[in-house]
Amino acid sequence: MNTIYKLVKTFKYFHRYASSISNPLTDCTIFSLSSGYGKCGVSVIRVSGPRTKYALQTLVGLRHELKPRYAYLKSIYHPENKELIDKGLVLWFPGPASFTGEDSCEFQVHGSLAVIAAIMDALGKVPGLRPATAGEFTKRAFFGGKLDLTEVEGLADLIHAETEAQRKQAMLQSTGALSRVYDNWRRRLIRCAAHLEAYIDFAEEENIEDDVVMQLNKELRRIITEIREHLNDQRQGEMLRNGVRTAIVGAPNVGKSSFLNMMCQREVAIVTPIAGTTRDIIESTHNFGGYPVIFADTAGLHKQTQDIVELEGMSRAKECLQNADLILLLTDARELLANIANNNGTLKEYQSSYLQQLDLDENALADKRIQLITNKIDLLSTTELQRLTQIDVLRISCKEPNTVELQPFLQHFEGVLRELCGQPSAEHPRITHTRYRQQLERCIEHINIFLDEYAPDIYPDIAISAQKLRNALKCIERITGHVSSNDILDVVFKDFCIGK
């Protein structure tokens, strides 16, 4: 097939898709406090839009052009009464080399409530300026082509990051690590679709390259393989972003609440010797070696109760267990030893027989990481402790946490978290949002339908098959925001605060 024709088609495709997002935001200039609200040393107020320079002129006067991205110490005046509000730093970011892509500026002023209120009032008096809504600066950056949706979401995650590993992952995403992966597939799918269209147009002619269909099939199969590899990530990125949901389960009185308190280093749950104290799920989020963990203390799981409150607690505990990423199965060390000795069994058998009697849904525990832990080792004799050591099970005492056993346990636990969350890296950025996963799965489905229909010897209606390819492309573009609906944008931007 004529190579130039293929190139022209490809260009037209890129052009069509590149121009498919238009900026629905109006031409007005927005302003907002971008640093936290409250008394502090320095506060940052941002302005973005076409009248930014005019706002600067009005508040600080511009006898000379400001050098872009340089800090100037300036006196800031109110435009109506000409009163001096404060002295602070002023930075000028002419578009398109700014965060939003528009002309923007920043006022770095003393962080008192009165100074902030006066500057906000002064900016409000400048014609053509209005306060920004939540996430509006980032929305402008998105519509201005500065960020794609994955970078926007990375930025939101960076703002909300609470642990070091979360920060790393969000930082990579906000600087385009995922965007590059998806854009690569997008470009290749566009090329495939363009070549197919060129092929349709040239079908009647004689100068068709024989291998064009084969090349297309090969490339699409390569893309499927790459997407599948990306999907096969054990949800590491999502777990790191959302926190590892960790259910603490076991029989009543084995020390589940004590364990939660020990791990969180505060009295989160009530501890008593009375069985059945915990009825509801008690959750507590904790930063563990840089990994976020959402511990959930649950009601003791056992069979002998008619108490309706306890039964409800057990039902919630089972639900929590089924939704968890990690299950910590706590046992009483004496009970474990007795059980293994009496039944001449192994740890694995003990664990399975305990879980079996819980009548959980089938497959509820499939692919779940279950960690057996024995508690109350302080109650064991030296001989019993030796026997337990031979069994090679994680050993702790929540009552006397300072035993030598605690450190190896904590190290092991951190290792489990590292395995579950993985290490964020630029080479293999992870899926962090369920919506990416859903769109990628759909993308594969569409490509597969296309490949099934489009076997060269079947001769289907190629034009109809080509639509499947465009559907696959749209799935990727919904992730990056090259095609977007208000529904998606509302979800993405809901995590932003005013000033971001």
Residues near ligand GDP (CB under 6 A) are 252-258, 271-273, 277-278, 300, 375-376, 378-379, 397-399
The secondary structure of 37-87 as a DSSP string is: SSSEEEEEEEEESTTHHHHHHHHH--SSPPPTT-EEEEEEE-TTT--EEEE
Report how far residue 71's alpha carbon sits from residue 59's, in angstroms, rounded to the nearest whole number.
16
Shortest Å, Cβ 252 to ligand GDP:
5
Shortest Å, Cβ 76 to ligand GDP:
58
Of 425, 437, 480, nearest in space to 180 by CA:
480
Which residue, 156 or 271, has its beta carbon nearer to ligand GDP? 271
Shortest Å, Cβ 192 to ligand GDP:
57
Shortest Å, Cβ 226 to ligand GDP:
46
Of 263, 232, 234, 231, nearest in space to 246 by CA:
263
Shortest Å, Cβ 261 to ligand GDP:
8
Tokens coding 338: 């007795």
The secondary structure of 86-142 as a DSSP string is: EEEEEEEE-TTSSSSSS-EEEEEEEE-HHHHHHHHHHHHTSTTEEEPPTTHHHHHHH
Which residue, 30 or 249, has its beta carbon nearer to ligand GDP? 249
| 338 to 43, 370, 371, 397, 438: CA distances (angstroms) | 64, 21, 20, 18, 48
Shortest Å, Cβ 407 to ligand GDP:
16
The secondary structure of 293-326 as a DSSP string is: EEEEE-PPP-S----HHHHHHHHHHHHHHHH-SE
Which residue, 120 or 264, has its beta carbon nearer to ligand GDP? 264
Shortest Å, Cβ 267 to ligand GDP:
11
Which residue, 398 or 479, has its beta carbon nearer to ligand GDP? 398
Which residue, 30 or 254, has its beta carbon nearer to ligand GDP? 254
Report how far residue 415's alpha carbon sits from residue 23's, in angstroms, rounded to the nearest whole number.
46
Q: What number of other Cβ atoms are within 10 A of residue 388's Cβ?
A: 20
Shortest Å, Cβ 337 to ligand GDP:
15
Which residue, 122 or 373, has its beta carbon nearer to ligand GDP? 373
Which residue, 252 or 424, has its beta carbon nearer to ligand GDP? 252
Which residue, 104 or 258, has its beta carbon nearer to ligand GDP? 258
Give, as one character, the DSSP assignment of residue 497.
P
Report how far residue 108's alpha carbon sits from residue 111's, in angstroms, rounded to the nearest whole number.
9
The secondary structure of 391-412 as a DSSP string is: HT-EE--SSSTTSTTHHHHHHH
